[in-house]
Amino acid sequence: MRRVLKGNDLPAIHPLVDLNNLLSLHLLVPCCVIDADRLEPPLELRAGRAGERMDSMRGPFGLEGKPLLADALGPFGTPITDSERVMVREGTGTVWLVAYLPEEGTIEGDPEEVTAELLAAAPVAILR
């Protein structure tokens, strides 16, 4: 969002990451794309615990009190950044596209409809 508001283009990173970034801009909420093959059930959405950290794509990242996604191996994502462990890379097969939607309130557009429209405009994956 900061780049767009400054008048800059979004960088092309990976087709699925690019789709994720467009979805986040359309919905005006944080979104992430996760390599589903690197997850270990069970999964949970919870608050970070005291002293909890993860190796994010931005470096070490403190999680205490922050909303996060975790699996049996530990935290792997937040609305701010995601872990190196689940990032999309060459050879990624199955992904999850996660939108951190508010429990109440309005967002711009229906998430499923917006995702389908973006995929139709630039198909990069099969939506299931």
Q: Is residue 49 scored above 70 in pLDDT? A: yes
Structural domains for the chain: 2-112 (3.50.40.10)
Q: What is the pLDDT of residues 7-37, one digit of tens each?
A: 888 888 888 888 888 888 888 889 999 999 9
What mean pLDDT is reported for the chain?
86
Q: What dihedral angle (degrees, nearest 10) is formed by the CA atoms of 116, 122, 126, 128?
A: -10
| Residue 93 in tokens | 């097969």
Residue 76 structure tokens: 């792997």
pLDDT mean over 71-98 = 92
Amino acid identity of 83? S
Contact indicator for 17, 33 with CB cutoff of 8 Å = yes
Q: What percent of the chain stands above pLDDT 90?
A: 46
Residue with tokens 């792997």: 76
Give mean pLDDT, residues 47-71: 95
As given in the structure block, the two tokens for residue 108 are 């711009």
Q: 98-128: per-residue pLDDT in tens?
A: 988 877 656 666 777 877 777 777 655 554 5
- pLDDT at position 126 is 52
